[in-house]
Amino acid sequence: MADLLERSYPRRARGKAVVVPWGVITEGNGRDVNPLDIRNRYGIPEDRPVLLTLSRISPEKGQDLLLKALRIWEREENGDLDLFICGAPAFMHGRSYYARLVKLAGRLERVKVHFPGYVAGSTKRA
């Protein structure tokens, strides 16, 4: 990535571009969350599959495509599952896109969709 930046901005001195990768917090915050607690909070049986997306809610992330694919999945007589679409609506078009996702989720019959909003820390890991 640094090479790409230096080629894109040739007037800058070589070696001055630094790319800082996105980090992942590996330490807990002292309040570990048990995955079973989350299942209990949302009424999800232990044997029921769960899908999870962790991202801002924005059209380019494609959460609508996932919901449309799950509609097809339901028609093929697959079992029940829960889907968590975690994240806050993006600044541009986020709220209207979120409303569209809620409408698409409402059409699902055997997939229960949860929109918990932004999720962080040990809850995200659980």
The pLDDT score that the predictor gives to residue 66 is 96
* Residue 16 located in a structural domain: no
pLDDT along the chain (126 residues), means of 10: 75 70 57 84 93 92 95 89 93 89 96 92 71
* Residue 11 located in a structural domain: no
Our measurement of the distance from residue 83's CA atom to the centroid of its chain's CA atoms, rounded to an integer in Å, reads 10
d(CA 3, CA 76): 47
* Residue 97 located in a structural domain: yes
Give 39's contacts (C-beta < 8 A, 6+ positions apart): 45, 46, 50
* Residue 110 located in a structural domain: yes
70: amino acid identity, one letter = L
Looking up residue 54, the CATH number of its domain turns out to be 3.40.50.2000
Q: List, as one string, the DSSP characters of 35-59.
A: HHHHHHHHT--TTS-EEEEES-B-G
Q: Can you give the pTM of this predicted structure?
A: 0.73
Q: Residue 68 sits in which domain range?
A: 31-125
Question: What Å distances lie between residue 28 and 24, 39, 83, 94, 122, CA to CA?
Answer: 11, 20, 25, 30, 6
The pLDDT score that the predictor gives to residue 26 is 54
φ/ψ region of 82 (left if φ > 0, alpha if ψ in -120 to 50, else beta) reads: beta
* Residue 47 located in a structural domain: yes
* Residue 69 located in a structural domain: yes
* Residue 8 located in a structural domain: no
The pLDDT score that the predictor gives to residue 5 is 74
* Token output for 94: 């986020």
* Residue 45 located in a structural domain: yes
Q: Say how many domains are in the chain.
A: 1
